[in-house]
Structure formats: C-alpha cells, structure tokens
Chain A
C-alpha cells in the first residue's frame, strides 16, 4: 500500500495542535480567577470537540501504526460501517441498506475501512457540533458501491476538514475508491465510493 507519511505527519501535527489548543482554553476557564469568561455552552462545545478530535487522533494513530501490514484484501463494507457507527453513541446514525442486499464485499481491509468511515463521521460532526442525527445509505451501481452520508448543511468548510479529507482520499485511492463532499441546497452529502471485490485483478494490473 502506498502511504504518504509526510502528509500523515502534517495532519497528525495539525490535529494534535488543535487538541492542545482547545485544552488550553478549557484549562483557562477552570482557573479560580479565569482570564476569559466563557459561557458553559461554549465550554461544553469545546469539550465535545475535544472528544471527537481525540477519537480522530486514535483512528489516525491506528492507521499509522498498522498501515505497513495492510495488504489489498476484500472486506465486508457493511460490517465496517456497523463497527464504525457503533463507536459514535453521541449521534443517532440511521443506516439504510435496502439497495445493497445481500452482499457488499469491497476491495479494502476491514479495519482500515472502519477507521476511514469513523474518521469521516468524526469530521462531519466536528464541522457542526449541533448534529444529533445522521443518515447513511448504501447503493450499488456497476462495479462500485457508494456509501452516502447526509448531514445538515454548513456555511463553510474549515481548512482542517479539507486536510483530513485529502488524507482519507489518499487512503481510499489505494483501494481504487474515492471520497467526495458535496453541499446540496439543503444538505451536506458525503460519498465514499468503493470498488467491489470482483475488481481486484483490475486493481493489481493497474497498480493504483
């Protein structure tokens, strides 16, 4: 698997900086004579953000630690999704699988796919901490299966989100897949497109 360690280090440094920065603010407000008086709502948001940033960090560290051992294999996408979403109990995630039955085997490694989906969910929530519900659906078309995640629309995308997205995109490309964020009129949509497992010979021959 081709892995961009430089980019990985860049994203990791950025994320750790964000966690430390939020922590500094939270600590500032806890002092007996706080230099900044922030509302409890704002402090709660910072704490919530820290929680998701730490989750993102744990996924990144997992990928960085294990990446050299990953081969191109096949994985059940549905299992990877269920594993990823089960970790996010703060948000109600509805999953519609009616268009993909009975089997969704894709090119990829189950643990990496699960980490990728979890990171994607993390950044969607980090962009809008008020999210309480997300909808996911799977759709098979041709040799691809697409995981669609629908979230409320946000005004602008932060540079950090774009950096994480680029990292995820680099990871998925190793499996011949892609990720795309689209702002529709009323929603923010994320499409994770994966190749079905019958495409493995094609992927090996092309050396993506």
Chain B
C-alpha cells in the first residue's frame, strides 16, 4: 500500500486542520497549496488518496486531476473532492466519478471534520 494522502487545499488553515486530524488517526499526509505545488509534491507511488479542492488560486482542481492522472502511475490513487462550491454547482455524475475514481464530492460547509476523518480512515482500511 502507498503511504500517504495528498491534501490539495489553498486555504492554509483548513489544510492544517485536515493534516492534524489525519495525523491524530495515524494517517500521514502531505499538503500542497496550489496547482504547481501539487504537481511538485505528487508521487504516484506514495499517494493513495488525493483530497482535492476545486477552486485553487492558480488553476482549477479538475485541471490538476487531469495532470496528475497523466503522470506515469497516476491512475492508481482515489480522489476525495472537498470544495467550497455547492455539490449541484460541481455537477459530477456517477459515471464520471467512477471513471475518475472519485470516492466522494462534498461541500465544505456541510462536511464535518469528523466525517472527513471517518471517510479517509474507512478508505485507508480498504487499501
């Protein structure tokens, strides 16, 4: 199994909350704050899950996902979309979710840290 979660989140405080919450459960993570940072930090052999924000400062999160998937070995990780946008704005249908290995699409204002940790934990057990 690969070792860590890549958290792509331009909100530094929220990224810290995600990272510390996962660390408390023994789950390692790496944080990237924007598109370029995520490309530099992404290691296909190490990251089994990417927590993806959609509205990044430099580019869109989906563009980032496309770029990560294009990398050698970049089709093995799962994706958890946690965005400030409402889920109906994101409008990702089930076929696309399955095709892109997206395990969930959540709106930050309706997705508690408890749910976040539980979801990542349960997914890590399946890996």
Q: Please give the distance in Å from A54's CB to the nearest CB on chain B.
A: 14
A36-B24, A156-B34 known; A28+B114 contact, CB < 8 A = yes
Question: When the two chains form their complex, are residues B118 and A35 in contact, meaning their CB atoms are under 8 A apart?
Answer: yes
Question: When the two chains form their complex, are residues B10 and A21 in contact, meaning their CB atoms are under 8 A apart?
Answer: no
Q: Which residues of B contact A155 (CB under 8 A)?
A: 33
Q: Which residues of A contact B10 (CB under 8 A)?
A: 156, 158-160
Question: When the two chains form their complex, are residues A46 and B17 in contact, meaning their CB atoms are under 8 A apart?
Answer: yes
Question: When the two chains form their complex, are residues B33 and A156 in contact, meaning their CB atoms are under 8 A apart?
Answer: yes
Interface assignment of B97: CB less than 8 Å from any CB of chain A: no
Question: When the two chains form their complex, are residues A21 and B56 in contact, meaning their CB atoms are under 8 A apart?
Answer: no
Query: Mask for B76-100, Cβ within 8 A of A = 1, else 0?
Result: 0000000011100000000000000
Question: When the two chains form their complex, are residues A35 and B112 in contact, meaning their CB atoms are under 8 A apart?
Answer: yes
Question: When the two chains form their complex, are residues A160 and B17 in contact, meaning their CB atoms are under 8 A apart?
Answer: no
Q: Which residues of A contact B21 (CB under 8 A)?
A: 35-38
Interface assignment of A42: CB less than 8 Å from any CB of chain B: yes
Question: When the two chains form their complex, are residues A17 and B57 in contact, meaning their CB atoms are under 8 A apart?
Answer: no
How far, in angstroms, from A141 to B108 measured CA to CA in the complex?
45
Interface assignment of B16: CB less than 8 Å from any CB of chain A: yes
How many B residues, CB 8 Å from partner?
Answer: 29
Interface assignment of B14: CB less than 8 Å from any CB of chain A: yes
Question: When the two chains form their complex, are residues B108 and A37 in contact, meaning their CB atoms are under 8 A apart?
Answer: no
Q: Please give the distance in Å from B52's CB to the nearest CB on chain A.
A: 13
Query: Mask for A14-49, Cβ within 8 A of B = 1, else 0?
Result: 101110110011011000000111110010011001
Q: Which chain B residues numbered 1 to 51 have a C-beta less than 8 Å away from chain A?
A: 10-14, 16-17, 20-21, 24, 33-34, 37
A14-B84, A25-B17, A157-B57 known; A36+B109 contact, CB < 8 A = no
- Residues of chain B at the chain A interface (Cβ within 8 Å): 10-14, 16-17, 20-21, 24, 33-34, 37, 55-57, 84-86, 107-114, 117-118
- Residues of chain A at the chain B interface (Cβ within 8 Å): 13-14, 16-18, 20-21, 24-25, 27-28, 35-39, 42, 45-46, 49, 129, 155-162
18 A-B pairs within 8 Å (CB atoms) are namely A13-B86, A17-B109, A21-B14, A21-B109, A24-B112, A25-B17, A35-B21, A35-B112, A35-B113, A36-B113, A39-B20, A42-B13, A46-B17, A129-B13, A156-B33, A156-B37, A159-B10, A159-B56
